[in-house]
Structure formats: C-alpha cells, structure tokens
Amino acid sequence: MAYPSQIGFQDAASPVMEELLYFHDHALMIVFLISTLVLYIIVAMVTAKVTNKFILDSQEIEIIWTILPAAILILIALPSLRILYLMDEINDPHLTVKAIGHQWYWSYEYTDYDDLTFDSYMIPTQDLTPGQFRLLEVDHRMVVPVEAPVRVLVSAEDVLHSWAVPSLGVKMDAVPGRLNQVAFIASRPGVFYGQCSEICGANHSFMPIVVEAVPLEHFENWTLSTLQDA
C-alpha cells in the first residue's frame, strides 16, 4: 500500500515485482551515469578545458561513442528480456480466476470451483468503516492462497478496462471479446490494492481491485463459506 510522500514503488509482494524493482534500480543507475558523463563533457567544453582536436575531430572518439551506447543497450536489454520471459511463463497454475471488467465494477469467476462467482463493487465513502481506504475498498475481495501460482484470465463485457495491482507486478488489458492472461505468486499474506488503469468512462476511477492473499487453509475455508452462501 502506498503511503504519504512516497517517492518510489510500493513494496513488492511477488517475485516478479521484486525483479521489476531490481531492473528499475539497474536502469536508473545507468541513466544516472550517462547523465553525469554528458553533463561533465558539456561543462568541460564550455569552460574550454577539453576543446581540442581529440574531442572535435577524432576517429577514436567516434568509435567510443558508437560502441559504448551499444554496450549500454545490451546491459539494459538482457535483464529486460529475462523479466519479460518470467512474466509470460505460466507453468501449472494452482488456481485460475477469470476477471471480467464492467462499467464500472469487476466480476470474478473461480473456474476451478462450480458456481463460485461474485461481483466486486467499490464501497461508497459514506459506508466506509474506520481504517478502510477511500476509493479503494470493495465489498467482495478476490481471495487467493499465498505462495501458489495464480493465473488470471482477463476480459471485459463492454469497453476497454485494465486489471492492475502494482504490488503484485501485474497489469493486463481487459478487451471485449478477447481473453488475456497474467500470472502472479503472492509471496506474503496481505491485502493488495489496484485500480482499472484504462480510461473506461465516467466512473473509471470508481472500480478498484482488491486482492487478499491468505494461507491455504484460510482460502479453503473461504471457498467453502462462499459456496454455501451462494
């Protein structure tokens, strides 16, 4: 969950998000070094300290500024491709949930269980209890087991939506007539908040996403109680 005056990302709650944070720091350091080098060269040339033939007209310097950017791109591309592969790989998910976007709420279908479906609406501000977050709380959370691969099939019924939970490192477009998929593993118990990240209409900012990760025993009890109440 984000906190006031936060500058960086939310705390990672999945292995993929941890990798994304590492890659962000890696790329940011490269950008910082490039910016420092370019700024130094500009200042040095303005102050006429390095304005000489080597800098202005040199075969060696042309070779350097051709090879160096290529090497930098390789340093960025390799970890990026690795993370893309990890995000796309879905091996034997323990649970499959179908998330369908509507104007303006989400509905969830647990395809591994019969008749386990429900709609998830935002709780109005006047109905919030102390400790709940405005514009983020929902009446029915998507509950998943901890440390279990979860596959989410994302689609929409009317217009474009986007199912995104920053702490879990997932963001997938919900397109009418199309079934996209995304996977994650919640590495710790907790409640993780997200929102529709596609401008889908007048109430776009009022269809939050809440994923609650619980131990397997609690998840089984929740499925039983939900099926009995259905």
Distance from C-alpha of 137 to C-alpha of 120, rounded to nearest angstrom: 10
- Residue 6 is which amino acid? Q
- Alpha carbon distances (Å) from 136 to 64, 103, 120, 139, 186: 51, 16, 11, 10, 19
Q: Are residues 58 and 108 in the same domain?
A: no
pLDDT value for 162: 96
Q: How many CB atoms lie within 10 A of CB 52?
A: 11
pLDDT value for 228: 80
Q: Looking at the 3D structure of the chain, how many domains does it have?
A: 2
> Per residue of the chain (230 residues), what is the pLDDT tens digit?
667 777 888 889 999 999 999 999 999 999 999 999 889 878 877 776 655 555 556 677 778 888 989 999 999 999 999 998 888 777 789 999 999 999 999 999 998 887 799 999 999 999 999 988 999 999 999 999 999 999 999 999 999 999 999 999 999 999 999 999 999 999 999 999 999 999 998 999 999 999 999 999 999 999 998 888 76
pLDDT value for 145: 96
Distance from C-alpha of 79 to C-alpha of 105, rounded to nearest angstrom: 36
Instruction: Tell me which residue range forms the domain holding 180.
Output: 95-229
Q: Are residues 184 and 113 in the same domain?
A: yes
Q: Are residues 115 and 100 in the same domain?
A: yes
- Residue 210 is which amino acid? V
For residue 104, whether the previous peptide bond is cis, meaning omega lies within 30 degrees of 0, is yes
pTM given for the model: 0.84
Of 88, 110, 136, the residue at which a domain comes to its end is 88
